[in-house]
Amino acid sequence: MFYPCMKKFLMGVGGGIALLALLAVPAAAQVPSSTAASVQAPPGKVKLPPARSVLDQVRRAGVLRVGVVEQIPWTFTNRSGELVGFEVDVARALASDLGVRLDLVRASANGIADDVAGGHADIGAAGLWFSPRRALVVNYSRPYSEATMRLFASRAKAAGRGDVAAYRLADVTLGVLKGSPGAAFVPKAFPLARISTFERYADLADAVETGSIDAGVSMSPRPEFLVHVAGDRIFLPVGNAIATRSESFIAPRGDADILAYLDGWIRYREESGWLKSRRDYWFGSFAWADQLEAK
């Protein structure tokens, strides 16, 4: 069995850019004179245009609502009851560069696109891969991170199976988490293998450790964390990721301004090295593991 902090990990189911050129048009030229006073700003302040886009609405309201999905280490609740994680760091930096307050909106993996499309959140940040179905209701920004999928196996059960081809045989049983990217990917990538679906990640990990299935498939860094805490009992039989996908923000369809801002902001934060440093911390180390609740 696993340590308490790992159990918590397994239970989880992911100076700014000023767009002055867009804001420099005199307010009086944008709206009728009867409403011009509503967009006047104190001397020395940038005048806000009428709220035609999500970007304008966010700046007027003074708050950015970001939809997140609780999934360690993208977003999770720490020992102090606060939401932390890679996406939380990203959302905080984005709100700070916009000069507004951040409001994190909890969503489900299946419902976050509807939350953004329906206006319950301004944007979504949840380790989101491109989905043709999701793209019917939201737009995607340029990628700002990358997700990888790994095989993990019991060292006793999977001895001698050291490449992907060894897990594409009919006598192999692979475990996936219900509703996860792996649940959609594995049947296509491993068509001959038997698939066992688990409701909880802890149960999937236990099945791998006890040898009741040959291997599990999951998003990094969960497999790496299992190896970190389980020692010799669990290992990564295949050296490389079995799938890699880009992760992006999602934003309402038909709103070019917020999408342009997000794309520019991502480019700026990439060039400064900040995004890489956050990815390295959350996905390249377990320095954050002491933030997990011990229960």
The answer to whether residues 245 and 181 touch, using CB atoms and an 8 Å cutoff, is yes
Same domain, 9 and 112: yes
The answer to whether residues 12 and 205 touch, using CB atoms and an 8 Å cutoff, is no
pLDDT at residue 48, as a whole number: 54
CA 220 to chain CA centroid, Å, is: 12
Where do we find the tokens 């989880």?
12
Same domain, 256 and 178: no
Range of the domain at 192: 148-244
Number of separate domains in the chain: 2
Q: Does residue 76 surpass a pLDDT of 60?
A: yes
**Distance, CA of 239 to CA of 150 (rounded, Å):** 9
**Distance, CA of 46 to CA of 42 (rounded, Å):** 8
Residue 74: Cβ within 10 Å count: 25
**Distance, CA of 294 to CA of 77 (rounded, Å):** 12
CATH number of 152's domain: 3.40.190.10
198-225 per-position pLDDT tens digit? 988 889 999 998 889 999 999 899 898 8
Same domain, 109 and 229: no
33-65 per-position pLDDT tens digit? 333 333 344 445 555 555 579 999 999 999 999
Same domain, 179 and 200: yes
Task: Assess whether the previous peptide bond of 191 is cis (omega < 30° from 0).
Answer: no
**Distance, CA of 157 to CA of 167 (rounded, Å):** 12
DSSP state of 167: G
Same domain, 72 and 126: yes
- Encoded tokens for 233: 């009992």
pLDDT at residue 33, as a whole number: 34
Lowest mean pLDDT among 10-19, 254-263, 284-293: 10-19
Same domain, 230 and 265: no
Coil, strand or helix at 99: coil
Same domain, 231 and 273: no
Q: Calculate the dihedral angle through the C-alpha atoms of 283, 285, 291, 294, rounding to the nearest 10 degrees.
A: 100
Same domain, 106 and 71: yes
Same domain, 130 and 266: yes
121-156 per-position pLDDT tens digit? 999 999 888 888 889 999 999 999 998 999 999 888
